[in-house]
Amino acid sequence: MTSNRPYLLRAFYEWIVDNQCTPHIVVNANYPHVQVPVQFVQDGQIVLNVSPSAANNFSMDNDALSFSARFSGQPMQVYVPVEAVLAIYARENGEGTIFSEASIEEEYEEQAYDSADDVEQEVEIQSEDTEEKPSGTDKPKKGAHLRVIK
């Protein structure tokens, strides 16, 4: 399955704006392809106001968000891959969510493990199907499994 991060990011953004609050995102400024004003980066992170009034030509899809804004009076185009977003919250009350930096790496690792499990499961099912069994003693085939997404 694809990452749920862009969907959650869009949902929280809309929820914050719909409640007349100001959405802010925390960005990992060291993530590849991030384009943010480096003079405001602290400890490898930057907080950006992405409210409709502050972010011109705001666009967010499954890969990235982008907009133009002024920083110390200087116009700049901002580009942030979705995976670089660490958190989104409302400035007024702090409501929002935090995304862990490791979740993307863990997701890829889990997908690799899940694929290996699926291959083993298919082999087990195939071997079960070819074995002769007395009637009424068929073992149920293993079904799909769920995994926890952090």
Q: What confidence tier does 102 reach under pLDDT thresholds 50, 70, 90?
A: low
57 or 145, which is more confident? 57
pLDDT reading at 89 higher than 90? yes
Q: How far apart are CA 88 and CA 108, in angstroms?
A: 23
pLDDT digits 0-9 by tens, 31-41: 999 999 999 99
Provide the percentage of residues in the chain whose pLDDT is more than 70: 67
Please report the pLDDT score of residue 100 as a whole number. Answer: 76
Q: What is the mean pLDDT of the chain?
A: 79
pTM for the model: 0.68
